[in-house]
Chain A
Amino acid sequence: MRAPDFFQTRITQKADPRYFQILALLSLAVIQITQSDFSPDFYLFPVVLGTILVSHYMSEIYVKGKLISPLCCDYRSVFISAFSLFLLLRANEIWVYALAAFVCVFGKVVFRTPKGHIFNPANLAIVLLLLVLPNHVWVSPGQWGHSAWLAGFMVCLAALVLSGARQLDTAFLFFVSFGGIVLARALWLGDDLAIPFHSVQNGALLVFTFFMITDPRTTPETFRNRFIFAVCVAGLSAAMIYIFQIREALFYALAIVCAGYGAYQLFVRRRGEHHHETSFA
């Protein structure tokens, strides 16, 4: 499955898709700042970004085993993580944001298989902080209002379409499975359809669907495996939300499924597959 050719122009074929993703995330950040009374203060974004850039540089030194110039590193992926953290994570204190940025980067170094890192960095940071510092962090579902949400949705979709097939179908599979479960539950309960439609209209779900679960480094390569991956995340998060009333279910579900997939990769022999997807943080 490949993104339709007519969406590709000379620019998009040559440009790194991460630029589109960064643009989309920037738009979401602007939407959030204008729509929400509870978005983090402006100055926290430079804190997150600064920490993440410095941490990334340090991790490159560690991985390469020698001192290198900061200009030699590729920072595009960490930009995406920085935006994700800014959009999703909430805390009272500045140091928590800095810690999240640090965990983002070093989580990639610590939790890896020979193929790459196991967890989406922003997802790992959020989950670890929620577990270890429950009194300091929380995730806001990011209710933005309908027109703002629709605008965000269109922007994300555009970015994703231009990013490539693999990301597109993971997002699509997850959205359809999760949406399908929510809809099915509403039909079973006899609820008005406005209820399930209303419940998926939050910013956190947008960021999660388009920028977290679609991380090419942490999603399986074959379509069949991606299908199982997406459906597992959707099913697990729905179960956590509706049975255990866990509000941050999406993040936990993704982390659990990634951990499972990582374990599968480590302990089950697989033939390596070459892939040219760009790295995604």
Chain B
Amino acid sequence: MKRLLHKFLPAVCAMFAAMCLVSPAYAFCGFYVAKADTGLFNTASKVIMARADNRTVMTMANDFQGDVEDFAIVIPVPTIITENQVNVTENSIIEHLDAYTAPRLVEYYDSNPCAPPRIQEMAMMRSAAPQAAGVDRQQKAKALGVTIEAEYSVGEYDIVILSAEQSDGLQTFLDSEGYKVPENARKVLGSYIKQDMKFFLAKVDLEKFESEGYQFLRPLQVAYESEKFMLPVRLGTVNSKGPQDIILFTLTKKGRVEPVNYRTVKIPSDKNIPLYVENEFGDFYKAMFTKAAEREDMEVMFLEYAWNMSWCDPCAADPLPNKDLRTLGAWWVSDDKGRNIRPGRFAPGPAPVDVFVTRLHARYTAESFPADIQLQETSDTKNFQGRYILQHPWDGEAECKQADVYYQKLPERFEEEAKTLANLTGWKISDIREKMASNGQPFDISEKREITPWWERIWSND
């Protein structure tokens, strides 16, 4: 028994070594292998995986911000990928899915305390950012035990599929092209080689990029058939300078997708927050997520959205049409032949789609996420979304007795909202109260309105 305990202690200690640094959270399944040692900088990775019956399509958003010619990416893949298995799509599709599943803000307006209630609802979206990657190739690979399985161009990318016999050869192969491969990467490459995985390398064809007049690098898509359902993240943590973020969207037939080897935690949702957050929703979300990740020592994946694509409530964006779902890899969805069947907004529409979308978000480091994320599709169809509520107090005339009670209770409610916000984001409650006071949520109601004392209310005739 003692032996068993001793076995696990080092792992436990290793786990608690994670530190959370300031906002940048950059990650990817592959890694940047830049020619020059430029300080590569990218925002949260976005990956979409559509999967059913062992057929997977992986779409990787690309928001590389450096020089296009410095761009290269290496991704381990389970099978050899032929030219027809690769596609380049538009960023707008990923942004659409991002907006559709993003945590949303809803507004409610208090009704006149003197009159019957009336509710109004509105939803807001959060913007997302794209990402980038790149790769390089070489001809004298054979001597190093590297086989170039395929080479082709798709869109503005030049792609090479490699298989290797040993990590030293692969590393030398990349090194000889002047790419800096970190020492740690070699072990990880070796692990993938032993698991019979291939390597997908992509770099940008500069001439094509300029001639087609592209502004940004577009997302790459890879389709393959394999029992493996996983997101390789180890290469991405190898040369990272701090915690990284990844947002994984999955499209499946049955239900929610969850990681098998990491805990899933729901992000705090259905919380009432102060009104002024409407103008700072992006910052609020970042701060809230950072705090949540810190609380869990960055060892979990957060569930931000899990819902059938046939409906939404509230909808943060228009549902994706069947054509886009198919482009993202939901091959089982019928082609609506351009008719653009729109699913319902508040209940499954007349033509429900068999697509369940899950959005998982993780902030991690090499220590907190030592293994690649193994995923499984469950049959869980319960809905979940990140939803934050703004409740506007009544702003108009209200001269009845009930109004006094209502206005007296407001500061309590504001205080609750302030506390909720402070707990969620870690912002100082005094700052929150100040901002609330100057944004339509004063704590001292007597400034706005004269309140009749309660004893007058019980004894006065009316």
Contact = CB atoms under 8 A, between A and B. Distances in A.
27 contacts: A36-B263, A38-B258, A92-B382, A135-B254, A136-B379, A143-B262, A144-B263, A145-B296, A146-B299, A150-B12, A153-B8, A175-B4, A179-B7, A188-B194, A190-B187, A190-B191, A192-B370, A193-B10, A194-B14, A194-B367, A194-B371, A197-B7, A197-B10, A201-B8, A201-B11, A245-B227, A245-B228
B11 A247 contact: no
Contacts of A90: 378, 380
Given A175-B4, A189-B194, A140 B261 contact: no
Contacts of A137: 379
Given A92-B380, A138-B378, A189 B263 contact: no
B229 A245 contact: yes
B430 interface: no
Contacts of B7: 179, 197
A134 B376 CA distance: 13
A231 B4 CA distance: 17
B115 interface: no
Interface of A: 35-38, 90-92, 134-138, 140-141, 143-147, 150, 153, 157, 161, 175, 179, 188-195, 197-199, 201-202, 244-245, 247
A136 B376 CA distance: 15
A135 B187 CA distance: 39
Given A146-B299, A193-B10, A195-B370, 20 more contacts: A37-B265, A38-B264, A90-B380, A92-B382, A137-B379, A138-B255, A138-B376, A141-B260, A143-B262, A145-B299, A147-B12, A189-B191, A189-B194, A189-B195, A190-B187, A191-B191, A193-B11, A197-B10, A198-B15, A247-B260
B266 A195 contact: no
Contact of B15 (A146, A175, A192): A146
Chain A to chain B: the 4 pairs with minimum beta-carbon distance, closest first: A197-B11, A143-B263, A194-B370, A138-B378
Contacts of B381: 92
Nearest to B261: A199
Contacts of A190: 187, 190-191, 194
Contacts of A175: 4
Nearest to A176: B4
Contacts of B299: 145-146
Best-surrounded residue of B190, B194, B263 (most CB of chain A within 10 A): B263
A147 B16 CA distance: 11
Given A38-B264, A140-B258, A143-B264, A244 B227 contact: yes
Contacts of B254: 135
Nearest to B367: A194
A143 B261 contact: yes
A134 B53 CA distance: 13
Given A189-B191, A191-B191, A245-B229, A140 B370 contact: no
B1 interface: yes
Contacts of B8: 150, 153, 197, 201
Contacts of B263: 35-36, 143-145
B370 A157 contact: no
Interface residues of B, number: 43
Contacts of B15: 146, 194, 198
Interface in B204-231: 227-229
Interface in B172-213: 187, 190-191, 194-195
B375 to A, nearest CB: 9
B15 to A, nearest CB: 6
A193 to B, nearest CB: 7
A212 B16 CA distance: 31
Contacts of A35: 263
Contacts of B258: 38, 140
A134 B379 CA distance: 8
A144 B261 CA distance: 10
Contacts of A194: 11, 14-15, 367, 370-371
Contact of B379 (A135, A141, A197): A135
Contacts of B4: 175
B378 A140 contact: yes
A153 B374 CA distance: 23
Contacts of A141: 260-261
A130 B8 CA distance: 31
Interface string B374-410: 1010111110000000000000000000000000000
Interface string B134-161: 0000000000000000000000000000
B11 A37 contact: no
Nearest to B254: A135
Contacts of B370: 192, 194-195, 198
Best-surrounded residue of A38, A90, A137, A150 (most CB of chain B within 10 A): A38
Contacts of B10: 193, 197
B455 to A, nearest CB: 45
A203 to B, nearest CB: 10
A90 B370 CA distance: 27
Contacts of B259: 143
A198 B379 contact: no
Contact of B376 (A147, A188, A247): A247
A153 B6 CA distance: 13
A109 to B, nearest CB: 28
Contact of B261 (A92, A150, A179, A198): A198
A175 B219 CA distance: 44
Contacts of A193: 10-11
Contacts of B195: 189
A36 to B, nearest CB: 8
Contacts of A134: 379
Best-surrounded residue of B4, B229, B378, B380 (most CB of chain A within 10 A): B378
Contacts of A179: 7
Contacts of B371: 191, 194-195, 198-199
B227 to A, nearest CB: 4
Contacts of B229: 245
A91 B300 CA distance: 23
A180 B109 CA distance: 61
Contacts of A145: 263, 296, 299-300
B266 A37 contact: yes
Contacts of A245: 227-229
Contacts of A199: 261, 371
A137 B380 CA distance: 8
A127 B382 CA distance: 23
A191 B167 CA distance: 13
A138 B379 contact: yes
Contacts of B14: 194
A129 B12 CA distance: 35
